[in-house]
């Protein structure tokens, strides 16, 4: 007895699903892998310049873990964090999630481990493979004069 066309289609679909899941597991591209989430919480009424790679940013921030535990904040220190955007001075999730911001803008960033501290974490405060949430406030943009 020969298999029907319908049966062959079901078998092919099963094989394709199996191969898809197998390659995702083997090559680390799991379906559960998360992406950077960017939520805009406050927009200023005017925005003469937006942040771009190479800008010196002055940011206030509060970072929390999935369970709500705060692991760091610039606010109690009273001084914003200053760094050059896109230069690797901060985690990848920040370099990506802070592009195109205006002074006075506030965002919520939910950063997967791959764009944060990865499998190693940052002991003792940030565990392995932690998803991080940051509430950020762009205080000031300093841009070098373009030639």
5 in catalytic set: no
91 in catalytic set: yes
- Compute the distance between CA of residue 130 and CA of residue 111 in angstroms, rounded to an integer: 9
- Compute the distance between CA of residue 7 and CA of residue 12 in angstroms, rounded to an integer: 9
> Which residue among 38, 117, 137, 141 is the active-site one?
117
Q: What are the Cα distances from residue 91, in Å, to 23, 46, 75, 88, 97?
A: 28, 28, 19, 7, 10
134 in catalytic set: yes
Q: Which of 20, 16, 135 is nearest to 68 (CA)?
A: 135
What's the half-sphere exposure (Cβ side, CA atoms, 13 Å) at 49? 13
117 in catalytic set: yes
> Which residue among 38, 83, 91, 141 is the active-site one?
91
Residue 49 in 3-state DSSP? coil
Q: Which positions are catalytic? A: 61, 71-72, 91, 117, 134
């Amino acid at each position: 007895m020969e298999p029907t066309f319908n049966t062959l289609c079901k078998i092919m679909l099963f094989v394709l699903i199996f191969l898809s899941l197998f390659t995702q597991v083997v090559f680390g591209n799991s379906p559960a892998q998360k992406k950077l989430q960017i939520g805009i919480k406050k927009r200023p009424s005017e925005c003469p310049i937006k942040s771009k790679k190479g800008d010196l940013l002055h940011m206030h921030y509060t970072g929390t873990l999935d369970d709500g535990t705060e692991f760091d904040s610039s606010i109690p220190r009273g001084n914003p964090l200053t760094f050059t955007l896109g230069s690797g001075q901060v985690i990848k999730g920040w370099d990506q999630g802070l592009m195109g911001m205006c002074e006075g803008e506030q965002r919520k960033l939910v950063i997967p481990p791959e764009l944060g501290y990865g499998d190693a974490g940052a002991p003792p405060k940030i565990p392995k493979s932690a998803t991080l949430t940051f509430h950020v406030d762009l205080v000031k943009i300093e841009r070098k004069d373009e030639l």
